[in-house]
Amino acid sequence: MSSTTLSPAPLRDDARTITLVGVAHGTSHFFHMLLPPLFPLFIRDFGLSYSELGLLVSLFFVISGIGQALSGFLVDRVGARPVLFAALSCFVLAGVATALADGYVGLALAAALSGLGNSPFHPVDFTILNKRVSTARLGHAFSVHGISGNLGWAAAPVFMTAVTAATGSWRWAAAGAALWALLVLVLMVLQRRALDDRAGAALLRGASGTAAVTAEHPLAFLRLPSVWLCFSFFFWSTCALSAVQSFAGPALQALHGLPLSITSFVVTGYMLCGAAGMIAGGFLAARSERLERVIGASLVGGAVLLLLAGWSALPGMLAAVLAALAGFGTGLAGPSRDMLIKRAAPPGATGRVYGTVYSGLDLGFATAAPVFGALLDHGSPSSVFVGAALTLLAGVASAALVGARVAPSPATAKMAA
């Protein structure tokens, strides 16, 4: 690839770009969790059911999934930076809409704005990283990107519940989230030169003297089976994540009588364990050619822990700890997952491939949330954990098929390294 002919950029420049993209990505994941930590309070204040609240999660991810697939084309056409600014602006509006909501319609508006803001992030992030960061440091960039997302997920429940407890109102927590998104937007505008993916693309073309890719139909990548297998893997593995993020806390309350002050931190623990797993998983991905085996072992381990967490005979605190530790298995699989996608993406279609594949994540969230919400409404909290474990195992099967399709030849493996 042409990027291998470039001298590495100064470490300071790469670190600035990686950090900025990480902060933006963490913010997008924070807004995944803008509403779920407040679900019990919405039930109290607005008389909503878990099924209705699950539909809010579905609305978020339906909009995000459709927008993500489309935004990949937009990013490839107009560049990643202006799309990033627009996405962060949507988050500001989503926080304000939540703070002002007086019922289900207001919450639905907040969910829609959050989903619209979330939609372009993976095409944006990976386009900037691939075009701005030196090849030798790209693996570290992917690792920081994944970890920052988990930290955003982990921070949201703590922030929303802590501000609510301190102020006595969840509306102040939503306003605080809007303020955070505004501060991040200002930071990105001030540091916009480090996010200029068009400048990075020009450097890549200048290094080779020719365009880096051969012109082809914009939809040609859709013919690749590996793209759709990656999509399937994201769908199944995300169904499990949706169950944990949105309903692990209420399920543990119903199963073991744990208070909200404890169960609200299960998601945070799950995400922090996931971040730790990503650090370890980066070393495994770098040393393994059969990435699907790493993914399979990691997800099976997570599935076993989730099954145990749903066992009503366990002590409540132990079940909460096991549910959080399951995040380590899913995190461990993350770097290998991203490497599989990199192998599946043809040159010149970065935004489109990442947009399409990651829309499987949104579809998984949108599909799973109302299903698991209905299970809770019908008095079956253990099914949340059993269902999450089963979908992780379905993800293992998809990963095995992806690995068989995109297993690199010796020459390709050498180039990727």
Domain extents for the chain? 11-209, 223-417
pLDDT at 304: 93
In this structure, of 132-141, 345-354, 367-376, the range with the lowest mean pLDDT score is 345-354
pLDDT at 347: 62
In this structure, of 53-57, 156-160, 296-300, 409-413, the range with the lowest mean pLDDT score is 409-413
Tell me the pLDDT tens digit for each residue of 18-31: 999 999 999 999 99
Find the mean pLDDT for residues 296-320. Answer: 88
Find the mean pLDDT for residues 97-106. Answer: 96
Is the confidence at residue 138, as pLDDT, over 70? yes
Closest alpha carbon to 68 in 361, 334, 318, 390: 361
Closest alpha carbon to 242 in 343, 332, 367, 406: 367
199: pLDDT confidence band, cut at 50, 70 and 90?
low
Q: Is residue 312 a contact partner of residue 343, using CB atoms and an 8 Å limit?
A: no
Q: How far is the C-alpha of 359 from the C-alpha of 234, rounded, in Å?
A: 8
405: pLDDT confidence band, cut at 50, 70 and 90?
low
Q: Which residue has the tokens 């944990």?
A: 244
Mean pLDDT of the chain: 81
Q: How far is the C-alpha of 176 from the C-alpha of 254, rounded, in Å?
A: 30
Q: Which CATH architecture has domain 223-417?
A: Up-down Bundle (1.20)
Rounded to a whole number of angstroms, the distance between the first and last alpha carbons of the chain is 12
366: pLDDT confidence band, cut at 50, 70 and 90?
confident
pLDDT at 134: 83
Q: What are the structure tokens assigned to 116, written together?
A: 């619209």
Asked if CATH classification 3.30.360.10 holds for the domain at 11-209, the reply, yes or no, is no
Is the confidence at residue 85, as pLDDT, over 90? yes
Tell me the pLDDT tens digit for each residue of 144-176: 888 898 789 889 988 999 999 999 999 999 999
Which of 104-108, 281-285, 293-297 tops mean pLDDT?
A: 104-108
213: pLDDT confidence band, cut at 50, 70 and 90?
very low
One fold for both 11-209 and 223-417?
A: yes
Is the confidence at residue 297, as pLDDT, over 60? yes
This prediction's pTM: 0.71
pLDDT at 165: 92
> Between 150 and 392, whose confidence is greater?
392
Closest alpha carbon to 93 in 111, 81, 120: 111
Is the confidence at residue 98, as pLDDT, over 90? yes
